[in-house]
């Protein structure tokens, strides 16, 4: 426990002066080279940890401002790398085991300790904590190496697989000459295997992003009904090929959600694909979006199938990394067992949760939640001042339209840069750029709430046009249109509370956003019909 140059700094948190003196006496008797700083309250101890990091904390569990297990939890949250040894007046075996399980290094009873026992306990606590830190550093290094390796290998495999995919499709399309039926069948088998490998590589890359904390969520204002319909349409051919019915059930009252549209579709497709795989011919898969009275802050989505179900002992395991059903037939084990693991992580990053209910022989239902888009909470600090509604509110609409030759990937980056630039054009305390609307249309629309009248809003609109219009990437790939309209305020003598008035304006703006999403969807449908004809 001794050090060559300076004494070991120990923080003693003990409100009983007699017990504090006893600890000092035992350390002196053991000839330990220790400097003890004693404080009587947990709050004082936490302040000391902010000022200086000790080698070890000796902690009484019953202090004037804290009692029991929460005492050591607060210390460990404040200084997770500092070893903690509990000094208790009670020989409580249950508390001792609980404390050790939660990271405390030792549990000593005050009246029973000798100087030798105390010295040894402190020395072992410091050494064990150092070993744990070393193991944690090693674990993180190994995980980082594994993630880099998997990411590198996955990227390297993509190039030859893409080449194989291109040449196989050239042959199947007959561009290299006619083929015999059996040759076509063989190439289709190759193509299915290539697509399967592509899916595995994608899952590996996603899993490494999850493990390294690099999986990102781009929250938007999203019409969940549109995303469900899109996911069902994308999986329709797969269901038809297996003769499995695929249906969407959408409640009319489902409001907008605050989610990443691409990631949400990824989750839906994963669950639908699993449902189709595990459902026999002439069965069905149903995707449902609904509200639940007991949880008005979230939208509930579920994917139910009429397959063989999941055994009870497997239910706690299905979301684990690399888990695969040991009783699944070969067609159902085409992946790496990462899909549900990734899907649950995506939902968790949204602030939602995912679970499964199943009965063997009666199918399975995978459910998850997404948070509602609460526009009123965003608007409240912007359109109110000193407990009253602001006199005027204007809704500014900024529409970015790509040129016909604009590439999808680069256009998405351009829109993101324009969004960042738009946020610099407003007055932060009086204006608000709303979260972007999700959807599949290439036309990007941003909405700005401005707490001003229409005349001053025109100044804001000109500033937006000038700033975005001068953006080089937008000039090369698209156009910008800026329009505005007054948002009707509450009538004179309105008896509603301020919160109710804000909700009224939020409802009006939400209708405008819903209308914009509906118009975009209609435009997409018209384009599809035009190309179909």
pLDDT (0 to 100) of residue 330: 47
pLDDT (0 to 100) of residue 170: 86
Rounded Cα–Cα distance for residues 38 and 45 (Å): 8
Q: What is the largest CA-CA distance in the chain?
A: 97
- Based on the domain organization, do 201 and 230 belong to the same domain? no
pLDDT (0 to 100) of residue 2: 43
- Is there a domain that residue 144 lies in? yes
Pairing of strands 8-13, 56-59: parallel
Question: With b meaning 16 or more CB within 10 Å and e meaning fewer, what string describes 293-325?
Answer: eeeeebbbbbbbbbbbbbeeebeeebbeeeeeb
- Based on the domain organization, do 441 and 475 belong to the same domain? yes
- Based on the domain organization, do 71 and 84 belong to the same domain? yes
Task: Quote the domain boundaries for residue 465.
Answer: 375-532
Residue ending a domain, choose from 318, 349, 371: 371
Query: Three-class SS of residue 422?
Result: helix
- Based on the domain organization, do 66 and 153 belong to the same domain? no
- Based on the domain organization, do 106 and 163 belong to the same domain? no
- Based on the domain organization, do 296 and 173 belong to the same domain? no
pLDDT (0 to 100) of residue 267: 93
What pTM does this model have? 0.60
- Is there a domain that residue 126 lies in? no
Residue ending a domain, choose from 371, 396, 413: 371
- Is there a domain that residue 483 lies in? yes
Pairing of strands 257-259, 62-63: unpaired
Residues with pLDDT less than 50, the chain: 1-5, 330, 332-333
pLDDT (0 to 100) of residue 87: 82
Residue ending a domain, choose from 75, 96, 113: 113
Are 49 and 78 a contacting pair, CB within 8 Å?
yes
Number of domains the chain contains: 4
Are 255 and 217 a contacting pair, CB within 8 Å?
no
Rounded Cα–Cα distance for residues 90 and 66 (Å): 16
- Based on the domain organization, do 171 and 224 belong to the same domain? no
- Based on the domain organization, do 426 and 502 belong to the same domain? yes
Contacts of 183 (CB under 8 A, 6+ apart): none
For residue 253, what are its two tokens? 């009252």
- Based on the domain organization, do 363 and 285 belong to the same domain? yes
């Amino acid at each position: 426990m001794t050090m060559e140059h300076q004494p070991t700094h120990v923080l003693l948190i003990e409100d009983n002066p007699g017990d504090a003196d006893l600890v000092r006496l035992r350390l002196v008797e053991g000839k330990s080279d220790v400097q003890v700083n004693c404080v009587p309250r947990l709050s004082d101890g936490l302040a000391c940890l902010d000022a200086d990091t000790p080698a070890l904390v000796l902690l009484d569990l019953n202090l004037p401002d804290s009692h029991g297990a929460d005492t050591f939890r607060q210390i460990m949250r404040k200084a997770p790398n500092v070893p903690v040894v509990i000094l208790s007046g009670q020989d409580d075996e249950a508390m001792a085991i609980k404390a050790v399980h939660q990271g405390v290094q030792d549990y000593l009873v005050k009246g029973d300790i000798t100087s030798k026992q105390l010295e040894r306990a402190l020395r072992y606590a410091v050494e064990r904590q150092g070993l744990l830190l070393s193991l944690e550093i090693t674990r993180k290094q190994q995980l980082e190496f594994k993630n880099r390796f998997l990411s590198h290998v996955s990227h390297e495999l993509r190039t030859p697989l893409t080449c194989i995919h291109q040449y196989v499709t050239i042959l199947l399309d007959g561009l290299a000459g006619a083929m015999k039926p059996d040759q076509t069948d063989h190439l289709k088998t190759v193509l299915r295997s290539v697509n399967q490998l592509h899916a595995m590589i994608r899952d590996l890359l996603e899993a490494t992003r999850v493990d390294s904390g690099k999986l990102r969520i781009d929250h938007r204002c999203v019409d969940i009904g549109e995303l469900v319909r899109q996911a069902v349409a994308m999986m329709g051919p797969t269901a038809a090929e297996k003769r499995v019915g695929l249906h969407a059930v959408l409640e009319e009252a489902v409001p907008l959600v605050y989610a990443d549209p691409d990631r949400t579709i990824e989750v839906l497709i994963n669950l639908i694909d699993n449902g189709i795989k595990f459902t026999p011919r002439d069965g069905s898969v149903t995707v449902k979006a609904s509200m639940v009275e007991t949880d008005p802050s979230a939208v509930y989505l579920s994917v139910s199938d009429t397959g063989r179900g999941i055994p009870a002992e497997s239910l706690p395991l299905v979301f684990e990394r690399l888990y695969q059903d040991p009783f699944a037939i070969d067609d159902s084990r085409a992946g790496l067992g990462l899909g549900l693991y990734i899907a649950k992580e995506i939902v968790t990053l949204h602030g939602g949760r995912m679970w499964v209910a199943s009965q063997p022989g009666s199918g399975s239902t995978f459910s998850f939640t997404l948070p509602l888009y609460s526009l009123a909470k965003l608007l409240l600090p912007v359109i109110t001042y000193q407990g009253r509604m602001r006199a005027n509110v204007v809704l500014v609409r900024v529409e970015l339209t790509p040129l016909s030759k604009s590439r999808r990937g680069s256009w998405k980056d351009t829109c993101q840069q324009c969004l960042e630039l738009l946020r610099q054009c407003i007055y932060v305390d009086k204006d608000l750029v709303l979260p972007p609307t999700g959807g599949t249309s290439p036309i990007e629309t941003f909405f700005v709430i401005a707490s001003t009248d229409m005349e001053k809003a025109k100044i804001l609109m000109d500033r937006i046009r000038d700033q975005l219009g001068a953006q080089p990437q937008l000039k090369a790939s698209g156009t910008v249109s800026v329009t505005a309209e007054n948002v009707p305020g509450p009538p004179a003598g309105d008896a509603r509370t301020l919160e109710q008035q804000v909700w009224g304006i939020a409802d009006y703006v939400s209708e405008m956003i819903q209308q914009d999403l509906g118009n975009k969807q209609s435009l997409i449908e018209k384009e599809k019909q035009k190309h179909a004809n």
